[in-house]
Structure 1
Amino acid sequence: MKFLDQAKIYIASGHGGSGSISFRREAHVPFGGPDGGNGGRGGDVIAHCTDGLNTLIDFRYQQHFKARPGDGGKGRDRSGISGQDLILRVPLGTQILDETNNFILADMIKIGQKVTLARGGEGGKGNAFFKTSTNQAPRKYQPGGELEEKWIWLRLKLIADIGLVGLPNAGKSTLLSRITAAKPKIADYPFTTLHPNLGVVNQDNKEFVIADIPGLIEGAHEGSGLGHRFLGHVERCKALLHLVDATSKNIKQDYSTIINEIKAYDKSLSKKKQIVVLTKCDAINSEQINFAKKELKTLKVNNVLGISAVTGENIVKLIRNLQEIVTTNDVINDKLSHKENTNNTWSP
């Protein structure tokens, strides 16, 4: 399945059915009168956050979505059938924005969440509705309500616990394949990963989700390389796992490049908890590893862990460190949620 994290679509609700003008005319029935029924309501366009999806590819080949209109009313007080709602199934983490791509209309962050994007027109009233004691034969009805139509943007931001960042070929995909069941493309050239990959880490019967973000390069915030569009996928992560290639000749520059690009994208993203590790430590000796750590220490980066996805060196230790961060973050969020709910509780 191809990955697509952004799509522009046109949506339109159904217009309401018109009311009916009708009068009862039957043989041997002395009392007639108006019996025009009401029109049916038009269908809504509803976004539904659905489990099992992680791409917007369904909106790549179909961009126009229209709900069914309501049927018109009929005689004998028969109301029109309401139009069926149109359900748009979107993955968890999808943001829905207006046509300008600036204003967020909805943020789908819970499985099962539903948001009405366009309301169907109300059904018009038939002439039976307007009958009164002083107007017993009204020739009046209402047309159906107008539909709503608009262009909207769908933007997917994957929801993961840990986001993997680093320069191209820093070993992100290799690490993901080592600690999860994911099978990203791995090769010895830059930009092997062209779209984010998700994997689930399971250690000691505890699970968390990790996202591999395509490599950044200097100038990504200006559109260089793959640009920074994929950084949106780590906005929701609880922490960032920053991979630095231990075999590089410019350790400090490699680290600073990623930090600068993250800051240029969003300063709040740079304030997230960050774990820095040196990768490919199996390819160099201990002296070179210590030198790389000292280089990072000059940038005030301490407690750097050296790992090797090939030999498994320090992999378990890294996973447990990540688990501790995820668990701590969950506890803090639970406390904040409980405090918020308590503050919102009203008592007489």
Structure 2
Amino acid sequence: MNQDVVKGVLILLVMFDHNEYAHQLYPLFLTGFAFHVLGFLALPFLRPSVALSWDYFQKTLIRYYYPFFLIVSAMGVVTMLTVSGFSIESLKRLLLAFYSGNNDSLKTATQMALLWFLPSLISVLLLKALVDGCSPGGKIFLLGAMTIAHLFVGPLAESIRSYLPLGLLPAIYSVPLCYLLAFFNRQCCERLSNVQGALLSSGIFLAVKCLQMKLGLSQELGFALVSDYSNLPALVVNDLESITGALMLFQLSRLRLLDFLGWFGAQTLPTYLIHPFVALVIYKVCEKMLPDAGLMVKFCISMVLTVLLSVGIARVVMHIGVVRRFCFPKDVNTLVGRI
């Protein structure tokens, strides 16, 4: 499978989910929409296992936490200037956002709740490395513990998420699903042709999504607003929406006719960080310049412009050496200029 194609489709779905007009046009579909999140979190589970080590830990932090730190710092200052003012309380909220990386703290401190994904991705990567480096017994124990925790994340989230570092709750919730998704994807790749895998996974996802919509189920992984042990049918259906949707994308990426989507997936990290600003400007322009246009017209215009501008700016930015080095380094050596 072509992971650039998968990332391209996933980043398009992220921009779709963050489009104001999409939520007005497709509220029921987007209420329980989560498979794009699991798809991104599960990509490392398709790659060779890496045991947890100091080198891996620091590379992961530099790769993902460093850009997170930069944008949270910048948006924290902007929020203090424009919304909350400079105070001890504002500083405390910003420090909490650096530490916990949870959706609520980031929304309060930076007005950008969507940044939760980066610290949670770091936690997913570190948890995976921890599990993969264990003995078979250790793996069973850790995965069993996270599977049990999966049942309780929803009711516990509000009371404990600010005490846990790096968006740990969404990560713990997601890791068992990521292992399941990787297993099913491996089975499809080994047993089914490209077309068979795409058709079967798409059919299963459509059935699950229709059931989720019919039941009116919702989930928001970033806020840890997820089903739990008290409503197991809802938990199962929502989890299946995430797994089968991501599996469908993984299988569709095996089809060569979708290779062109790899263009959108080449620079997903800068695209992810840039697109909220682009989307906001385009939304404001659409509302001002096209007040009488239909929702569908505004949606199509805003989506096309957001996608092309966000991806285009990201690709240009990553060709500027100084920006790539100081904003999106791959490791410490890149950042300090040793290589």
TM-score, normalised by the number of residues in structure 1: 0.22
Q: Which has the higher strand share?
A: 1
TM-score, normalised by the number of residues in structure 2: 0.22
Q: Which has the higher helix share?
A: 2
The answer to which structure, 1 or 2, has the higher relative contact order (CA under 8 A, 6+ apart) is: 2
